[in-house]
Structure 1
Amino acid sequence: MTERRNRLLRDAMNKAGRKVIQHCLDNRIGTVVFGWNKGQKDSANMGAKTNQKFVQIPTGRLKDRIAQLCEQYGIRFVETEESYSSSSSFVDHDSLPTFGEKPVRASVSEGEGWQASGKRVKRGLYRTAQGWLINADCNGAANIGRKVAMMLGLDLSGISRGDLSAPLRLKLWS
């Protein structure tokens, strides 16, 4: 049973990695930015059953496979930490502190510590300070891109509220 599961997972990682690379090649995308926090599954506190399902997802294998395929096809692969990317608002230009460092105060009126201007309303939905509803995963991905934009010379000015509220879905198994 373990061998069968390992083969299924390896096949899934290969297919997912190929889809990502093919999308990059079709759309002339030259850089893949992968948000990664070491130890992100350690001490996960989402309930017993959800934890069991979450820690079984081999995201490290997917990251390694995508990095391998990027090197093979001449696409730049950048790994960055993704702390505070889901809770910060891309639209409102919230600050993005690094995990472990003490976040700076956003303003005196907010009191001590860092605080996001928006809020995750429910799974998959994020409300900005202006009350706009955008896709939470797209908001997090845009913030991960924002963390490395200066280093890589990326222009994120083309990302609009419309891009974040109605994302294009890429079906991995169709």
Structure 2
Amino acid sequence: MNSLRHRHISVFGLPALALLITAAGCSSADGSRSAAVPSPDATVAGLCRNLDKVLPAKVDGERREDPSPASTLTAGWGDSAIILRCGVVRPPKMSDPKVAAGKDKDAVAGGVNGVQWLMEKQDDGGYRFTTALRRAYVEVSVAEGRDSSSVLIDLAAAIKKAIPEGIA
């Protein structure tokens, strides 16, 4: 793919992805300090443990503050403003032809720094991103008001290093 070391966003779904990322407005996290821990098979759990070891200490300028219960399958930054869960099930929207065609107003597919994502707008104003075309699904929830593009850029290197490309 692109061997340049600068930021790269693929053109697949770019207008809709840019619109939804820009729409990630201006309020704070809900302060919740818990996250449901996924229960993947042993192979995916191993990939997730590898991801946990290489996750950045800061994402979008926020320090890592993991949610409860403690698990190598979950991570958080900024008092739960950003929550990562590794080993989640495939989101139903990934199979929706309207998303692939760019005709779903609340979900869009796109790529940031070599990682493909499904982005879904949440009822609380935040966004949920789920990796695509990787051997494990990694979900990242971003609270309303956070810079989603910075979050995805900050997490891309760790995801590429720990979760190989392929179909989960």
TM-score, normalised via structure 2 length: 0.27
Ranked by relative contact order (alpha carbons within 8 Å, sequence separation 6 or more), the top structure is 2
Higher helix share: 1
Q: Which has the larger radius of gyration?
A: 1
Q: Which has the higher strand share?
A: 2
